[in-house]
Amino acid sequence: MDRIPVRRALVSVSDKTGLAELGRALAAAGVQIYSTGGTRKFLADQGLAVTEVAAYTGFPEMMDGRVKTLHPKIFGGILCRREVSEDVAAAREHGMELFDLVVVNLYPFAQTVARPGVTPEEAIENIDIGGPSLVRAAAKNHAHVAIATDAGQYPAIIEELRAGGTTLELRKRLAAAAFAHTAAYDGAIAGWFAQQGGEFFPPTLVVSLTRKQELRYGENAHQRGALYAAPGCTGANVVQARQLHGKELSYNNLLDLDSGLALVRSFGEPAACVIKHNNPCGAAVAETPAEAAKKALDGDPQSAFGGILAFNRPVDAATAELLATPGLFIEAIAAPDFAPAAVEILTTRPKWKNNVRLLAVGPCDVPPAPLACRPIEGGMLVQEADVLPDPEHEWKVVTPAPPPDSLLADLRFGWAVVRHVKSNAIVLAARRALVGCGAGQMSRVDSVEIAIEKAGERARGAALASDAFFPFPDSIHRAAQAGVAAIIQPGGSVRDEEVIAAAREHGIPMIFTGRRHFRH
C-alpha cells in the first residue's frame, strides 16, 4: 500500500522542539506512543498516554541510559517486512509490536565538541549509539516505516496523519534525509577523533553539508545554485548569519560577503571594505566604523557603486548616515550587528532601501576555520587556511635605508590586505587605506599598472604590497615612476638581486617578508 496508517510510534529525542504538537497529533490519530526516559516524561507531562519502552521490552534502562532501545523487540518491530509472511510470523511468535513511525534525533555531538573546554569524556558520552541504529533501521524499512529525524519534518507527518497515514513518497524522502543525517553525525565523530589523534589531514575527510536554501540561480542566470551549511559551524560567517532586511542573497552576493568578512576580521581595529567581483576595491581601518567606511568608499568610488560592504564592528547610526549619502548604491552589508537606528536609516532613506541585504554575522573575534577546501573535478583540494598573521620579526629590510616609521603602518596595512586579493595581487596603501588594487592578472607588472592607474596621484608616497615576488625589476621601475615610497613583498625570485638593485637605484625602501600569499 502507498498510504500506511500509523498505529504505533517510537519516540526518543534529544531535542524536544515541536514534540508537543507532534505528540498531540499522534494522540488525536489514535496512535500508541512508545518512548524512553526524558522523552516519555515530556510527553506524559503534556497529558499524553505513553508506553514506556522498558515496560514493553522487560529490560530496564541501564548504564546511565547507554542501553535502553537496543533490544530485539524494538528492532524487530521496526525491521519486520509486512509482506514477508516469515517476518510477520516471527514477530507474532516473539511478541513484537510493529512500529509504523520512528521519531528520533541524536545526542548533540557536534554542538558539544564545539564548546570551549569540552572534555573527551563529555564528547564520548554524546556519541549516540541506539539513536543512529533506530534511524537506520527505520530508513532501511521505509517501505513500511516513516522516520523523522528533524522537527522541520513534523508538519508534513502531521498533515499525512490527518489524511489517514504516511505515503511512500514521504517515507522515501524521510529515509534519504535520515541516512544523510547519520552520515553527517558519523562524519563529525570521525573528524573529532582524527583531531584527538593529532592528524591535521585525516586519512579520510568526511564532508557532510545540509542544504540551507536553494538560490535564485548560480553564478549566472542559466545555472542552478544552492547554499549548504556545515554542521557545528561557529563564528562570523554568511551561512549562519541573520538576514535583517532585503532581497534573497544571490550566489555572487554570498561569495563577495564571505571575502569581505575574511578581510575585515584580519584587523583588530575598526575596519571596513568594499568588495567587487570577489576582490577589494576599497578597504581601510580607522578609529570608528564610519571613518573606516568613508576611507574604504573613497578607495575606488567608481568601482564601489553596487558593491558589497563588510565591517568588523557593528554598524551604528553614524555609519548608516554615511552609507545613505545620495549617489551611493550598495548591494549588501555584512557586520557583526546593526544598531536599530542604523537599520531604520538604511531601510528608509536611500533609493535602494527596499533591496539592500543586511546581514548580522555575529562577533568577528572567533577564529576562522583552520582548513580551506576547494572542490575540483574528481575530488577536493584541502589546505591549511591562510589566516594567521605573519611574524614581523622575520621581515628583513633588503635595501640600505629602512622605510621611515611614517610608512610602517601603511606597509603593514597593505600586507594584511594583499592576501585577500586574487593573484597576481598588488595593493597600494596610503593612510591605512587601499588606494589602488591590481588583481588577477597573468603578468605581475600588469597588476602594478592597474593599481597605479586606480590610485592616480595617490600613488605618490604610497606603500606597495605584492602577494608574491617580482620576477623582473620592471615593476619596481614603474612603481618608482608613479612615486611609490616603499615596497613590501615576500622575495624569493632568482632575480631578487636585480629587483633590490632597482629599488636601491630609485631610493625606495624594500622589505622581504619571506612568505607569499597567493590567492587563486
Cell readout for 344 is: 531604520
CA atoms of 219 and 236, how far apart (whole Å): 23
Sign of CA dihedral 38, 39, 41, 45: positive
Catalytic residue among 16, 71, 73, 140: 140
Burial of 511 per CB tally in 10 Å (0-12, 13-18, 19+): buried
Known catalytic residue: 142? no
- As beta bridge partners, residue 62 has 67
Task: Specify the pairing of strand 396-397 against strand 434-438.
Answer: unpaired
Cell readout for 261 is: 568578512
- Nearest Cα to 480, choosing from 513, 512, 445? 445
CA atoms of 9 and 147, how far apart (whole Å): 10
Known catalytic residue: 140? yes
Catalytic residue among 247, 277, 477, 506: 277
| 26, 19 Cβ separation under 8 angstroms | no
- Beta strands, E only, 303-453: 307-311, 330-335, 357-360, 371-376, 379-384, 396-397, 426-429, 434-438
What secondary structure does DSSP assign to 257-275, as a single string?
HHHHHHHHTT-SS-EEEEE
Q: What are phi and psi of 416, to 5 degrees?
A: -70, -35
Q: What are phi and psi of 291, to 5 degrees?
A: -65, -45
Grid cell 542559466 in the structure block, residue = 222
Q: Which amino acid is at 213?
A: Q
CA atoms of 178 and 142, how far apart (whole Å): 10
Cα three-residue angle 448-449-453, rounded to 5 degrees: 115
Print burial letters for 338-371: b (CB count within 10 Å at least 16), e (below 16).
bbeebbebbbeebebeeebbbbbbbebeeebeee
Q: Which amino acid is at 493?
A: S
CA atoms of 43 and 138, how far apart (whole Å): 22
Q: What positions carry a catalytic annotation? A: 140, 277
